[in-house]
Amino acid sequence: MATNNKMQQYYHEAKWWRPGKGSAIQCSLCPRFCNIFEDRTGFCGIRKNIAGRLYSLAYGRPVALHVDPIEKKPLAEFLPGTWTFSIGAFGCNLACSFCQNHHLSRGYYDDEKEQGAYYPPDKIISLATIEDCKSIAFTYNEPVIWAEYVIDIAKLAKDAGLSTVLVTNGYVTQDTASELFPLIDAANFDMKGFSEEFYGKMTGGKLAPILEAMKYYVSLGKHLEITNLVIPGKNDSDEMIDAFLGWTKENLGTDIPLHFSAYHPDYKYRESPRTPAQTLINIRDKAVSQGFRSVHLGNISLPAQVRKQESWTK
Ligand code: SF4
């Protein structure tokens, strides 16, 4: 009985799966399409095969709850000056060697322990309202891997007059995106580096599905901003930055606010130095010269004389 109660409380049946190879089931939430054997989790660590059915271990179990300025997401042009009720969980469907949030992305739920309180979607709405937030942000770790929870919260948020914000790597299948994205009001997509080689070596994922996800999101008429963490010697070449700006201009337009943020050595990849301020300023100038309307620099303290250059919005 105790097991059943625990199952009820902590295991929420997942969407987006089908029978897989042999006794495995296949998750189709993201482009990894993991084949998951019984009692195992997929690559992200939070979707588990229990007795031949797929469950989300993260549903109702956020491990980070904070009230943040919306600019911290970062979103420069969505409900500026307001607070957003921010929630995050464990797990990630990428494996960035330079992850700056690895305590969450590589964290996992231990079935043998009761981990934290249970937060059904209506409780998240109540907390956001009590805190006088104007939006709920799904953030900190990768929220698309707990899309069932995001969707249920987002549906209630509409009724409560709260906006919804997704801070995502965009590594998601069209099936999932078509259910998730229409419920999101504003998103920041984290574009890690503009080449398949970079994605393959540094994240274990692929760039192409992310570009498709961004195009689809914008086609819905939603507010999009894009962040690029700039890692010296890895994704800061003129060639890569030009390719990113060129693709964005052609496919999304120059109205999309861009954020270029500084890397610091963290997690497994520590070989590059911190991103110099001048590198970010040069990229900002390049983006502006190519017609981008709104360009922002993050994770960096600029000298007072150039601080006014931190953001550029026409
Ligand atoms: S969401 Fe997780 S389990 Fe599903 S395919 Fe992606 S990494 Fe695998």
Give the pLDDT means over successive 10-residue stretches in the chain (314 positions): 51 93 93 96 96 95 96 97 97 93 85 77 98 97 98 97 98 98 98 97 97 98 98 97 98 98 88 93 97 94 58 67
87 and 221 share one domain:
yes
Cα 14 to middle of ligand 1, angstroms: 11
Cα 53 to middle of ligand 1, angstroms: 14
Pairing mode of beta strands 163-168, 186-190: parallel
Q: Which atom of ligand 1 is nearest to the CA of 42?
A: 3
181 and 230 share one domain:
yes
Look at residue 127 in the predicted model and tell me its pLDDT.
98
Look at residue 269 in the predicted model and tell me its pLDDT.
84
How many Cα atoms occupy the beta-carbon half-sphere of 74 within 13 Å? 17
For atom 5 of ligand 1, the residue with the nearest CA is: 33
Give the containing element (helix H, strand E) for 262.
Answer: strand 258-262
**pLDDT single digits (tens) 234-283:** 999 999 999 999 999 999 999 999 999 999 888 888 888 999 999 999 99
Can you give the residue range of the structural domain that contains 132? Answer: 64-313
Look at residue 3 in the predicted model and tell me its pLDDT.
44
Cα 42 to middle of ligand 1, angstroms: 5
Cα 227 to middle of ligand 1, angstroms: 23
Q: Which atom of ligand 1 is nearest to the CA of 17?
A: 4
Q: The whole model's pTM is what?
A: 0.93
114 and 34 share one domain:
no
Cα 60 to middle of ligand 1, angstroms: 18
Look at residue 8 in the predicted model and tell me its pLDDT.
53
7 and 77 share one domain:
no
Cα 91 to middle of ligand 1, angstroms: 10
21 and 130 share one domain:
no
**Those residues with Cβ within 8 angstroms of residue 74's Cβ, 6 or more apart along the chain or in another chain:** 188, 225, 227, 259, 261, 296, 298
Cα 300 to middle of ligand 1, angstroms: 33
Mutate to test the pocket of ligand 1, among 37, 93, 141 (most ligand atoms within 8 A of CB): 93
213 and 120 share one domain:
yes
106 and 165 share one domain:
yes
Look at residue 103 in the predicted model and tell me its pLDDT.
86
Q: Which amino acid, one-letter code, is at 219?
A: S
* Degrees, nearest 5: CA angle 112-117-122: 130
Give the containing element (helix H, strand E) for 313.
Answer: strand 311-313
101 and 164 share one domain:
yes
Q: How many CB atoms lie within 10 A of CB 276?
A: 14
- The CATH number covering residue 228 comes to 3.20.20.70
Look at residue 109 in the predicted model and tell me its pLDDT.
86
- DSSP for residue 202: H
47 and 68 share one domain:
no
Give the containing element (helix H, strand E) for 294.
Answer: strand 294-298
Q: How far is it, in rounded angstroms, from Cα 138 to Cα 56?
A: 16
Angle between helix axes 208-219 and 238-251 (nearest 10 degrees) is 30
Mutate to test the pocket of ligand 1, among 34, 46, 55, 203 (most ligand atoms within 8 A of CB): 34
Q: Identify the residues whose C-beta falls under 6 Å from ligand 1.
A: 27, 29-30, 32-34, 42-44, 47, 93, 145
Q: Which atom of ligand 1 is nearest to the CA of 91?
A: 2
184 and 265 share one domain:
yes
Q: Which atom of ligand 1 is nearest to the CA of 171?
A: 6
Look at residue 113 in the predicted model and tell me its pLDDT.
67
146 and 177 share one domain:
yes
Look at residue 1 in the predicted model and tell me its pLDDT.
36
Q: Domain end: 56, 78, 94, which one?
A: 56
User: Domain total for the chain?
Assistant: 2
φ, ψ at 69 (rounded to 5°)? -65, 140
144 and 44 share one domain:
no
Q: Distances in Å between the alpha carbon of 221 and those of 70, 72, 184, 227? A: 20, 23, 11, 19
